[in-house]
Amino acid sequence: MSQVRAKDLTKIFNGIKAVDDLTIEIRDGNITGIIGPNGSGKTTLVNILTGVIPFEKGSVIVSETKREKVKPFNIHAYGITRTFQAVRLFEQMSVLDNILVVLTERNVFSALFERHKIHHISEAEAILKGVNLWEKKDDNVERLSYGQRKLLEIARAIAMKSEIYFFDEPFAGLFPEMRKIVIDIIYDLKIQDKTVVLIEHDIELIRGLCDRVIVMNAGTLLAEGKPEDVLKDKRVIAAYLGD
C-alpha cells in the first residue's frame, strides 16, 4: 500500500520548474531513498510533501487522504515528521528539554515550566540513550558538536512517534560511530513497520538500507524500483554517478 503519493506535482521558482509534473509513491513500511544530482528537486519534493512550501499544481495523498495543500503545522496530524539539512533545535535549551518539548506536546514556554511526569523523563532517557546523548542531557544545545546536534534532531523526530519519517541527509558530516547509530535507528523504525524516506548522496548507504529508490533529475522522475535494479540503470549512472 502507498503511504504517500504525489500526483502530477509541479513547483515553480522564478519561472523554472523545480518539480515538473511528478508522480511518485512511497510505500507503507518501506525505507525509500530519494537520490539525484544537485538541483534535481529532491529537497524541494520533500519540502512540498512535508508542507514547508506550497505547490502550484497536482496533489499529495497521505494515507489515502488527498491534500491539495499541506500545511507545515498540520503534518504531525498526518503522521509525518522530518529532519532538515540545516539542524533546527532550541539552542538555548538543554538537550533533555529539547526532547521533553516534543514528548509533552506543548509549546516551548509551557514545557520549560511544566513539572514533567516520571514517564516523560523515562521516555526521554530511553530516546537520548538510543542516540548516545544521555550524558549530555543537561548541556545546552549550543555546546554540542555538529554530529551530536544532528543526532539530537533525529532523537526529536523519534520522540514525535509518527508513522512516516523524512530524513534529509541524516548522515552528512557524521563520524562512523554516529553513522552506525543512525543506521540502527532507521532499521528499528522499519522493524516497527514505520515508513522512512531518505535523501542521501552516499550510494552505498542507499544500496544497503533502502527497499526502493526514487531517482530525480531536473525535477522529473528518472527511475524508481529496487536499488539493485535502479543503480544499474544507464540513465541513472549517466545523470547521477557521472559515468
Position 102 scores a pLDDT of: 86
Q: Specify which residues 240 forms β-bridges with.
A: none
pLDDT in tens, 100-136: 988 876 544 554 545 556 778 899 999 999 999 999 9
What is the pLDDT confidence band of residue 156, given thresholds at 50, 70 and 90? very high
Phi, psi of 18 (to 5 degrees): -75, -35
pLDDT at 116: 52
Which range among 78-92, 99-113, 150-164, 183-197 shows the weakest confidence by mean pLDDT? Answer: 99-113
Query: In the chain, pLDDT over 70 holds for what percent of residues?
Result: 86
Q: What cell was used for 229? A: 535494479
Nearest to 189 by CA among 165, 213, 168, 153: 165
For residue 129, the model assigns a pLDDT of: 95
Span 31-38, mean pLDDT?
A: 93
Residue 36 has pLDDT above 80, yes or no: yes
Q: What is the pLDDT of residue 105?
A: 63
Cell of 125: 532517557
Residue 69's pLDDT is: 62
CA pair distance 146, 138, nearest whole angstrom:
17
Q: Mean of the pLDDT values across residues 92-99?
A: 91
Burial of 160 (0-12, 13-18, 19+ CB in 10 A): middle
pLDDT at residue 155, as a whole number: 95
Q: Is 160 helix (H, G, I), strand (E, B) or coil?
A: coil
Q: What are phi and psi of 198, to 5 degrees?
A: -115, 130
For residue 241, pLDDT beyond 60: no
**How confident is residue 240, by pLDDT bands cut at 50, 70 and 90?**
low
Model confidence band, residue 66 (pLDDT cutoffs 50, 70, 90): low
Q: Is the pLDDT of residue 140 over 60?
A: yes
Cα torsion through 230, 53, 202, 142, rounded to 10: -160
* Domains of the chain (ranges, CATH numbers): 1-79+163-243 (3.40.50.300), 89-161 (no CATH)
Contacts of 142 (CB under 8 A, 6+ apart): 91, 92
